Structure 1
Amino acid sequence: MKQVKYINISKGIGILLVVLGHQPINSEMFRFIYSFHMAFFFILFGFLFKAHNKNIKSYLTGKALFLVGTYIIASIWSVVFFVLVGVIKEGGVSANELLMKAFDYLLGSAHSGSLTPNGPIWFLLAYFLYIAYFQLIYFLNEKVGKWSHIVFIPPLFILLNNSYFLPFSLNATILAIPFFYIGVLYKRLLATYPLNSFVLVVLTFTFLIIFYFLFNIGNSYDISVSQVGSYWDFILLGGLFFLPILLFSFFLEDTLLGNLLEFIGERTIGILCYHIIFITGVSFAISKVFGFEYYTLRESMIYILLVVTTYPFILVFILNQKWLGNFFILNQKWLGKFFRKT
């Protein structure tokens, strides 16, 4: 499905925030980014949602092959990177360490840093389960009515009151479910008012003011490890910041910055899966070639700015080379030969 330009620009903004959030930034900047950046992608799914009731089996199979298949490929490269880091830092890794790391990626949960050195790939599993859940809910909606939409309440209540860590990042999937309905509400809102309307501009500034006061409650957030503050403030923060990102993206449509953000916004999966490995590897090489201390280099604000503004574009350029990219990301064009395009 071809998306309007401002959607891809907004995805570009979102993925740059993901990259920035994985740099050694100060705690308040970290807390700010994590209060809404992953929520944005979950809300965007609800905003763009289309039920595939007539071809649900082939649709979900295609999504599973792409997202879970890419997770498997990224996990293999993550284990390879884990071994390389072990060789450089410790002279090697034991067979037991290697097996445990492989098991961590098989389990697919980011809790306790289990997916180190490439934690962000938790999103691929959580997002697939999120997609599958809502496609099945809307399929059931035709059979049993709107009651199908409340089935998430018991598991959500259990998660909020207990410390259960589920495999395949299912915790994040369940905690993100309310974001879908926020996305649906935004879809209805934008069907009534265009993005550049006075109403939405005023609403955006109102949301930013409310966001400011909620954020200053002081809670910390990271949905990948079920750290969601008091939860409902986390849901509100994500929902409140979605509209400002969309509006900003809309006004960037005819600018060079908008074109650059669109470029990476169309390739968010590759950046998500490999930016940590790429940035760590390049930074290590630079530190060795130019004689910099690695951690001093990584913590430099100038270098962080360089990383966020250039490295994602270089990574996308590399992954766009067909002879190379197919080793890292499952080819959607190949899948499209067998499954209906979405």
Structure 2
Amino acid sequence: MRFHWIDALKGIGIILVVFAHHKLPVALDTYIFSFHMPLFFFISGFLFDFWKHTASAASFVKKRFRSLIVPYFGFALLTCLFYLLLDIGYQPGVTNIDFFKASPAENIHSIVYALGPLISYNPPLWFLTCLFVTELLFYGFAKKYYAEPGKLMFWLTAVGVIGYLYSVYVPFRLPWNADVALTAVVFYGAGNLFRKFIEPEAWKAGEKPRDNPDYQPGLKFRRSLLRVWKFLPGILTLVNLLYFGYLLHFPTPEEMNMNVLKYGNFFSYYLLAFSGIFTFVYLFKNVRSSKVLEYYGRNSLIVLALHFPVKDILTKLIVLVFMIDVETYYYNAGFALGLTVLNLFCMIPVIFLINTYFPYLLGIKRPSESSESLRTRLKKFIN
């Protein structure tokens, strides 16, 4: 079953990611970073159907490796080559990009370790390895507690506390952003539980009867949530709007960035993240979906992986064509919005090319030569 409102929600999420990677006014930057990456983990959890993967854990790991880790290394190497050629062509014999100032061995280590700060030429790729670890972590808990949502919530909360303590007291990072996954799994689990809240049949696979003992805890949990849900969207939306209003009057430098383990205060971090998430969930679930947002939502992986180099190309072109100092437009929301729109427009042919001719970059097997004609593919692409 395809949730069009979820596609649209992913669309606005990836647009916020692109927008936030420009220099924004402090208030706007802090607001977006308070929830935009937690939102993606929430959506990923919502879309995960545990009952489809109960037969074989090895098969689950293999599928997730193909859909997340293969794209990570594919796009990491592709964009690394792009920036290397750009650096060589810009000033032969002079290294301008910090990543290439290190030795080749250090560069390989950085790509394999997969931390955002290490892959500085394309840091958004950190999300792919982090999501992979997050899904494995959630799957491990789900294997034991999926039919008991109360226990599942308890263990996810406990892991979230461990993740926060790790960010405060441990001075080193874990490969593949496993340290971030300790926090991300809370949002992932919340998304999965939310789907079961709006789809009670999802508590048990297939045609399991309602008197099944494994089915009952889910129904009881849902009934409990229904009592709270009458008021929760309004309360969280109010919190979200008050927070944004506060930032407009008292701009506060960004204290929340999952990529670098910056969470600020434990309670306010989760409150603000969930208030932002559910504000947009409630909005997109109750308004008519947008085809444009759905399009970018369906192709969010490509946008995530390539918007950074596209941003750099656009910035260089603006400097060369208009002879302006881009730094004078830093922290200008209008300028950032314009670049974001240009970036998303430039992504359209890139998305088409990758989906049509290079799907293996997304972990998808290349279509056979006898597959649809270019005209048919274009129709599917547009629709």
Deviation at 1:323, TM superposition (A): 8.1
**Contact 2:160/2:183, CA 8 A, preserved across alignment:** no
Matched, 1:120 2:124: yes
**Contact 1:15/1:268, CA 8 A, preserved across alignment:** yes
Matched, 1:73 2:67: no
TM-score normalized with structure 1 length? 0.81
Counterpart among 235, 238, 241 of residue 273 in structure 2: 238
Tell me the residue number matched to 1:340: none
1:184-199 matches, cutoff 5 A: 184-191=192-199
CA 246–169 in structure 1, closer or farther in 2 if over 3 Å, else same: same
Tell me the residue number matched to 1:56: 57
Distance 1:50 1:102 in 2: 35
Tell me the residue number matched to 1:267: 299
**Contact 2:10/2:300, CA 8 A, preserved across alignment:** yes
Q: Which moved more, 1:20-29 or 1:283-292?
A: 283-292
Matched, 1:211 2:240: yes
CA 90–324 in structure 1, closer or farther in 2 if over 3 Å, else same: farther
**Contact 2:166/2:179, CA 8 A, preserved across alignment:** no
Distance 2:319 2:147 in 1: 60
Deviation at 1:229, TM superposition (A): 0.6
1:239-318 matches, cutoff 5 A: 239-254=274-289, 258-296=290-328, 301-318=333-350
Tell me the residue number matched to 1:46: 45
Counterpart among 146, 155, 159 of residue 152 in structure 1: 159
Q: Which moved more, 1:264-273 or 1:52-61?
A: 52-61
Distance 1:116 1:136 in 2: 31
Distance 2:332 2:356 in 1: 31
Rg (Cα) greater in structure = 2
Count of residue correspondences: 325
CA 200–331 in structure 1, closer or farther in 2 if over 3 Å, else same: same
**Contact 1:78/1:118, CA 8 A, preserved across alignment:** yes
Distance 1:260 1:139 in 2: 37
TM-score normalized with structure 2 length? 0.74
Residue ranges of structure 2 left out of the alignment (5+ in a row): 201-221, 368-383
Q: Which moved more, 1:323-332 or 1:281-290?
A: 323-332
Tell me the residue number matched to 1:338: none
Distance 1:308 1:50 in 2: 33
Determine helix, strand or coil for the equivalent of 2:173: coil
Question: CA RMSD of the aligned region, Å?
Answer: 3.4
Counterpart among 178, 182, 188 of residue 174 in structure 1: 182
Deviation at 1:155, TM superposition (A): 4.5
Matched, 1:109 2:115: yes
- Give CA deviations for 1:281-321 in whole Å, capped at 9, x if unaligned: 13313432343334446766444222223422431432222
CA 310–249 in structure 1, closer or farther in 2 if over 3 Å, else same: farther
CA 79–324 in structure 1, closer or farther in 2 if over 3 Å, else same: farther
Residue ranges of structure 1 left out of the alignment (5+ in a row): 336-342
Distance 1:42 1:250 in 2: 17
Q: Which moved more, 1:68-77 or 1:54-63?
A: 54-63
Distance 1:284 1:33 in 2: 25
Deviation at 1:47, TM superposition (A): 2.7
Identity score, percent: 19
**Contact 1:83/1:92, CA 8 A, preserved across alignment:** no
